[in-house]
Amino acid sequence: MDVHAARRVPRAAQWLVRQHLLRLPSRPMPVALAPRDLAEGYAVQDAFVALKAEHCGPPAGHKIALTSPQMQAMVGLRTPIAGRLHARQMVGGPASVRAADYGKLLVEFEIGFRMGADLPARAGAYAVEEVSAVVATAAPAIELADDRGADYATLADRAFELAADNAWNEGVVLGAPVPHWRALDLAALHGAAYVNDAKVGEGRGADAMGHPLEALRWIANHLSARGRGLRRGDVVITGSLVRSKFPVAGDVLRFEAGPLGAVALRVT
């Protein structure tokens, strides 16, 4: 990172914190602060996450965004984006959140894993079998995110900012952990999302990069390439099986994930 980027990064992170604390509508970052490439976007994310931890607890997991080529094309990238989960924003379901606490709440319906052992950084890439071997439990998950009313038509010009903004994550609601998940065909697993008991979408585990474990492998290797690793106890959510929804106050959401069970969220 050059000296100019090193100066931009902390200022960009502070700018993002202010935008979120004041729940300001989404807008492009000032040119003087905007990351110039994806690596700088992740550097801003690191600084932003460190500041956010003062309010939301330490990082305790990871998320993956843009898991489909279509979503990547929309923002002009050819790769998914990783984000961090914070301890105080991870709750068990059923849960309740206030719509007023977000600029514009969006939710996604995912499969989550909890790590049973570390996967440290190393020179070679991890295989799916190695990643799978250290997963302790799986669970249905509803990701909480906040796009703050972003103009999606402009995202292709702001892709690095999406990484800087922690991929919009604001938490996750987790269903009951399932320790016998290896007996399940997660690629074929059917997931269905409901809002106020009306089905609003469905998908299969294979919609997450071909298999939820492939998404987990991507996270493991992304972190390893940055000299980091997954840690025992980390939660990783692996990408939505259903198109994102924008609930409003009064909505009750439910995600049914077949043999993994279900998880519910009420918006007040």
Q: What is the pLDDT of residue 77?
A: 81
pLDDT in tens, 232-254: 999 999 999 999 999 999 999 99
pLDDT confidence band for 147 (50 / 70 / 90): very high
Q: What is the pLDDT of residue 151?
A: 86
pLDDT in tens, 24-41: 999 999 999 999 999 999
Burial of 78 (0-12, 13-18, 19+ CB in 10 A): exposed
Q: What is the pLDDT of residue 234?
A: 98
Q: How far is CA 71 from CA 27, 211, 239, 241, in A?
A: 20, 17, 11, 13
Averaged pLDDT, 142-146: 97
Return the CATH class of domain 59-267: alpha beta
- Taking the CA atoms of 165, 8, 52 and 228 in sequence, report the sign of the dihedral they define: positive
Q: What is the pLDDT of residue 159?
A: 86
- 71 has pLDDT over 80: no
User: Domain residue spans in the chain?
Assistant: 59-267
Averaged pLDDT score across all residues of the chain = 94
Beta-carbon-side half-sphere exposure of residue 133 (alpha carbons within 13 Å): 7
Q: What is the pLDDT of residue 75?
A: 75
Q: What is the pLDDT of residue 154?
A: 83
- 74 has pLDDT over 90: no
pTM score, whole prediction: 0.94
pLDDT in tens, 165-221: 999 999 999 999 999 999 999 999 999 999 999 999 999 999 989 999 999 999 999
Averaged pLDDT, 4-26: 91
- 1 has pLDDT over 90: no
